[in-house]
Amino acid sequence: MAEEFLATEIDTAVRVVHLASSLCVKVQDKLRLPSSTNGHVKSKDDDSPVTVADWGVQAIVSWVLAQVFGGQNLSIVAEEDTESLSKAESLGLLGAVSSAVNEALSEASTYGLPKPDKPLGTTDILEAIGRCSSVGGPKGRHWVLDPVDGTLGFVRGDQYAVALALIENGKVLLGVLGCPNYPVKKECLSNGCNNQSGAAGSVSKGCVMYAKRGSGQAWMQPLIPGGYPESATLLKVSSVDDPVLATVCEPVERANSNHLFTAGLTNSMGVR
């Protein structure tokens, strides 16, 4: 594969994750309003939650990828379908998804992405979401998307990620993570730097991290509301080799981690 060809894919993927992360920030802010929670969150058959952001991100990523790479042979593997969203009782929810998608896409050009000539209708949005029904496989090229990885954390106002990857013939070519609530600066992990400013260089919360196969490097950009950053920071493995000074992370959900074991392990290591 020509290096410049993959450059188009990584550039588009990073930009669309920035745009999708912007949508997530706005939806999560609305979820903090007590009156809006029930209308923006729905339970799936397995009792896991799905939100306006899950469907909205999937619609945006699908629409943009189709515009850039053509939709005819585009293979996207993603989590959400349109079945529950298409039901009569979900009309209000579909309207909320449509509003979030069109608000985000109206800013697409500021992220260097194609922008629709007019707002997308609900049929267009359902079509974009439904386009992500590929089953993937060991052959061919497949985009893989988890629109909101960690929906419980998203609903709670905590950590989550927009996760997008490109796989070709079973090999991952690139990966992008949008983490709107993750601190750009390491010190903010402990002291809670949670302000977010539109001025470049002053953003302390929210980032997009990405890497591509063969580069040997990973990069991070800050999330700038309504804009795309001009630079990226090279990510490096921590130089800390003393366990006492290490930072240990684990899932908040008890079902995903043995908290007692982790507490005992960190205590025995002397982690502060």
79 is in an annotated binding site: yes
* Active site (annotated) includes residue 151: yes
Integer Cα distance of 239 and 77 in angstroms: 37
Burial class (CB in 10 A: 0-12, 13-18, 19+), 156: middle
Q: Which residues of 158-179 are buried (b: 16+ CB within 10 A; e: fewer)?
A: ebbbbbbbbbbeeeebbbbbbb
**Cβ partners under 8 Å of residue 151, min gap 6:** 48, 49, 50, 51, 54, 160
Integer Cα distance of 229 and 247 in angstroms: 28
* Active site (annotated) includes residue 117: no
Contact 184, 231 (CB under 8 A): no
Integer Cα distance of 265 and 121 in angstroms: 53
At 179, which amino acid appears?
A: C
**What are φ and ψ of residue 198, in 5° steps?**
-80, -10
Q: Which of 51, 54, 82, 158 is catalytic?
A: 54
Residue found under tokens 């804009």: 227
Integer Cα distance of 108 and 64 in angstroms: 9
Residue found under tokens 């700038």: 224
11 is in an annotated binding site: no
117 is in an annotated binding site: no
Q: Which of 12, 51, 82, 151 is catalytic?
A: 151
Residue found under tokens 């990584």: 10
Known binding residues for Mg(2+): 79, 146, 149
Please give the positions annotated as active site.
54, 151
Binding site residue list: 79, 146, 149
